[in-house]
Amino acid sequence: LTGGDPFDQTEFSLAILKAMKKSGIHTAIETCLLTGRKELESLLPFVDMFLVDLKLHEPSKHREYTGASNELIKENFAWLARNHGSILVRIPIIPGYTDTEDNLRAIGRYVAGIEPKIPIELVNFNPLARDKYVVLGEDYALKRVDSVVSPERMEHLRQLVAETGATVGVESG
């Protein structure tokens, strides 16, 4: 389950996950973990894998760019790492926002400090959402981001994260 965040509709997500598990289907959710512990605990038995988006480690930057604190996200991540075996951390690499060396090192150190075996995947910026916003007549907050990150830069960023002791996976999509 993805698209927005499954925790935005916990009851609906729970119904789908229960039905899938009952049918023997592997389940996964993509989430930023900005949710209450009660909601997280309610889905936990029905999720085989969590894909956790960690965008910005520094609290003031996280609030500035996302409009929300990352304190609960970090608390939930630490709790999830202790209580669930299958987690993949995904860092969206957005030029000018999440791609700073300080940010990536901080996330790498944070994840490695909790559980170094949890893999981290750097996901290159996808500019396709821009057109969706235009069609919907909505303001696109990332309009100043006009390109994806080069393969060479992505490799450099993966190396920075690996240097923190974190396990780094390959880029997706």
Q: In 3-state terms, the chain is what percent helix, strand and coil (to 5)?
A: 45, 15, 40
Token digits for 72? 């609960």
What are 120's strand-pairing partners? 89, 168
Instruction: Count CB atoms within 10 A of the CB of residue 106.
Output: 16
pLDDT tens for the chain, 173 residues: list them: 987 799 999 999 999 999 999 999 999 999 999 999 999 999 999 999 999 999 999 999 999 999 999 999 999 999 999 998 899 999 999 888 999 999 999 999 999 999 999 999 999 877 666 666 667 777 756 656 566 788 999 999 999 999 999 999 865 44
Parallel, antiparallel or unpaired: strands 167-168 and 87-93: unpaired
Contact 61/36 with Cβ under 8 angstroms?
Answer: no
